[in-house]
Amino acid sequence: MLHKLSFFIGSLFLCFVMSTGLMAQSAEGEGMGAELTSRYRDLVSFDYELEDLASLVNEGRSRDIPKDRILIINGTVSSRQLIDPTEESYFAILELSSGDWEDEEELRLYRCYIQLIGPSFAGTVPDPQSRTIDPKEVPLHADVLLIGRYLGYGEDETGDTFPVLEAVDLRVLE
């Protein structure tokens, strides 16, 4: 999976570099490529993983998570909930999780919730009443790469806190 994730991120970066290069070639004057690269770095952050977001929220340091940058994280879909199936007002929630072993005896789990809002996400979470499989469906237990923005955090009935993000784009890693 790590190989596929690296390939996807590499492909994403290559597309960005190519489009930046084409735009720089077509722009009048020099330095346009450097300007776009700088703007890209101001907008997108690869600095956080799901574990980082969950830890910052649990430690009461959610203000350290930037709300003005796009975050790129990956995780496993551990639950799905469809709120509004109407295409125009589509709203669904994915729970992403990841984990690591602590002292080879205890599994430490991290989770966050992703809001899928709008027509571009319609069909990603199936209607429980439907027997039709949408080609855009994000399967339960799928590994996904999320491009999203941090909205804040929520709290469950046990008092545990978790980060909440709004999806900009989402890809299932196969």
What average pLDDT does range 3-25 have in this prediction? 45
Of the spans 39-53, 61-75, 122-136, which averages the highest pLDDT?
Answer: 61-75
Q: Which of 62, 36, 75, 69 is nearest to 172 (CA)?
A: 75
Fold of 46-173: OB fold (Dihydrolipoamide Acetyltransferase, E2P) (2.40.50)
pLDDT exceeds 50 at position 24: no
What is the pLDDT of the chain when averaged over all its residues? Answer: 83
How far apart are the C-alpha atoms of 74 and 50, rounded to whole Å?
A: 7
How far is the C-alpha of 66 from the C-alpha of 70, rounded, in Å? 8
Beta strands (DSSP E) in 2-105 are 44-45, 70-84, 91-102
Chain centroid to CA 137: how far? Answer: 16
158, two tokens: 């046990």
pTM of the model as a whole: 0.76
Residues 6+ apart with CB under 8 A from 125: 80, 81, 82, 92, 93, 94, 116, 137, 138
70-84 and 143-155 strand pairing: antiparallel
Is it the case that residue 29 has pLDDT exceeding 60?
no
Taking residues 139-146, what's their average pLDDT?
A: 95
**CA atoms 72, 44, 4, 102: torsion sign:** negative
Bigger pLDDT: 161 vs 105: 161
Average pLDDT over residues 162-167: 97
- Look at residue 25 and tell me whether its pLDDT is greater than 60: no
Q: Can you give the residue ranges of every domain in the chain?
A: 1-44, 46-173
List, for residues 82-135, the tens digit of each pLDDT value.
999 999 999 999 999 998 888 878 888 999 999 999 999 999 998 877 777 788
Question: Residue 39: its pLDDT value, please?
Answer: 82
Assess whether pLDDT exceeds 70 at residue 33: yes
